[in-house]
Homo-oligomer: A and B are copies of this chain.
Amino acid sequence: MNYQFSNRISKIKVNPLRANARKNMEHPDVISFAYGFPPEAAFPSHKLAEISQKLYDLDNHETFLQYGPSEGHPEFLSVLGQRLSAVVNAYDSEADELMVVSGSTQGMDLTIKAFCNEGDVVICESQTFSGAVNSIRAYGAEPLAIPMKGESIDLDLVEAALVADVEKKIKLIYLIPTFQNPLGTSMPLEDRKRVYELAKAYGVMIFEDDPYGDLLYVGEHIPKIKSFDKAGIVIYSGSFSKILAPSSRVGFLVIPKGAYEMILLGKQTSDSHTNQYWQLVAAKFMIDYDFEAHIDGLRELYKEKYLLMMDELDKISPDLMTYIKPAGGYFLCGKLSSTVDIAKFYDYLIEHQVAIIPGNVMSVAQEGFDNYFRLNFTKPTLDEIRKGINIINEALQSANLSTSVKALEKEVM
């Protein structure tokens, strides 16, 4: 059979790392800063086991074994809505509807499905989550990569793109405003307000992707873009992957009422509904236990790793590498100085079994960002952070073109 695939699926850029990802990570000799995984210690396994047992002890198993509503289990929607209103300030029950999705990847997928025709355009940060970019391409829409300026997407360029879009092809602005992936940056409040006003003025939706939002380690929470959405143009996306368990595949969208029905239709045709077991486990966790204390525990767990990573990275000469300090989340991005031989740097890391994500992989164009590399600090142990960042420092020195050849040879020995 000579398979004829759709044009849109052919546009998806394959992540060359994916195939070997888990193999590498599971190799005991590799120190991995590569993937955005929580560590085993982050799972509240004992509490989950208790909740699970209680679910099976119920008289009526239809609550979590039977088919369920496409929009999500009512008990979960209720408690989640309360938290999103009271704690996160990203849900207004008068103006918005809440929908459970099978992980935030599906949230993005359904949004593109509902809003973008083939050839439509989605504005993205030039370095961003590759899964979201592929969701855009999978519907035949085009990501428009706009460079960063400080900790925000360059808003002058966003405005210029909107002005130039006479055919109204731009349907959506995709942003990770808080603890950005891969950069770790957080958009300041005034920029959030400006991008919101721009979107409103040009009749474009904003997709605020916020999987890490709860994981603040220093400073204060910056209000969500969704918090000032009076016009009904912001879809807010959250997830339980980073605050409960990734394999729950439980995410959610806060959707302006006027856009809800069409996204729900897409959900029905995509996978009918999200598994109810994990919706109910999450609901009971939020009702029967102190969920905010759980989040605080995760923040403590990660903050220790985060602070150690900053300490270790600050031992590296800024002549070799710089980075923007994140205020929370999972990642930061190193930027190599122009004196560093990029190929040599990566070769050294491979040889010394330190795994990172090269910047090109986390960029829309999949090129032009070879001088960036993403580091995750939640999954590695404290010891791995110490050893791994030390090896990165060695790699930078060995790849430093401004060092004399003799010194280089000595370091490599």
List residues of A whose CB falls within 8 A of some B CB: 1-10, 12, 14, 18, 22, 35, 37-38, 40, 43, 45, 48-49, 52-53, 56-57, 60-62, 64-69, 102-103, 105-106, 109, 113-118, 120, 131, 134-135, 137-140, 171, 203, 205, 231-233, 241, 245-249, 256, 258-259, 262, 265-266, 268-278
Docked-complex contact A203 and B2, CB < 8 angstroms: yes
Taking CB as reference atom, which chain B residue is nearest A13? B265
- B contact residues around A275 at 8 Å (CB): 102, 247-249, 275, 277-278
B49, B231, B247, B270: which contacts A270 (Cβ < 8 A)? B270
* A49, A134, A246: residue with the most chain B Cβ atoms closer than 10 Å: A246
Docked-complex contact A131 and B40, CB < 8 angstroms: no
- B contact residues around A114 at 8 Å (CB): 5-6, 9
- B contact residues around A115 at 8 Å (CB): 3-6
Q: A61-B40, A247-B68 are in contact. Are A138 and B109 (CB under 8 A)?
A: no
- B contact residues around A256 at 8 Å (CB): 1
Docked-complex contact B69 and A8, CB < 8 angstroms: no
Taking CB as reference atom, which chain B residue is nearest A36? B67
Docked-complex contact B56 and A43, CB < 8 angstroms: no
- B contact residues around A48 at 8 Å (CB): 56, 65
- B contact residues around A4 at 8 Å (CB): 115, 171, 203
Docked-complex contact B134 and A268, CB < 8 angstroms: yes
Docked-complex contact B102 and A102, CB < 8 angstroms: yes
CA distance A113 to B64 in the complex (A): 29
CA distance A67 to B270 in the complex (A): 20
Taking CB as reference atom, which chain B residue is nearest A105? B272
Docked-complex contact B272 and A131, CB < 8 angstroms: yes
CA distance A117 to B3 in the complex (A): 13
CA distance A274 to B248 in the complex (A): 9
Docked-complex contact A269 and B7, CB < 8 angstroms: no
- B contact residues around A117 at 8 Å (CB): 6-8
Docked-complex contact B277 and A233, CB < 8 angstroms: no
- B contact residues around A65 at 8 Å (CB): 43, 45, 48, 245-248
* New A-B contacts (20) at CB < 8 Å, excluding given A3-B258, A22-B69, A134-B269: A5-B262, A6-B113, A6-B139, A18-B268, A37-B66, A48-B65, A49-B56, A49-B57, A52-B53, A52-B56, A65-B247, A68-B247, A103-B271, A106-B270, A109-B270, A131-B272, A138-B266, A247-B275, A249-B275, A277-B277
B62, B113, B171, B277: which contacts A278 (Cβ < 8 A)? B277
Q: A4-B171, A171-B4, A269-B134 are in contact. Are A9 and B49 (CB under 8 A)?
A: no
Docked-complex contact A1 and B270, CB < 8 angstroms: no
Give chain B nearest CB distance to A46 CB in angstroms.
8
Give chain B nearest CB distance to A336 CB in angstroms.
28
Q: A48-B56, A247-B67, A275-B249 are in contact. Are A1 and B269 (CB under 8 A)?
A: no
Docked-complex contact A105 and B271, CB < 8 angstroms: yes
Give chain B nearest CB distance to A69 CB in angstroms.
7
B12, B231, B259: which contacts A265 (Cβ < 8 A)? B12
Taking CB as reference atom, which chain B residue is nearest A140? B118
Docked-complex contact A273 and B259, CB < 8 angstroms: no
Give chain B nearest CB distance to A270 CB in angstroms.
5
- B contact residues around A37 at 8 Å (CB): 66-67
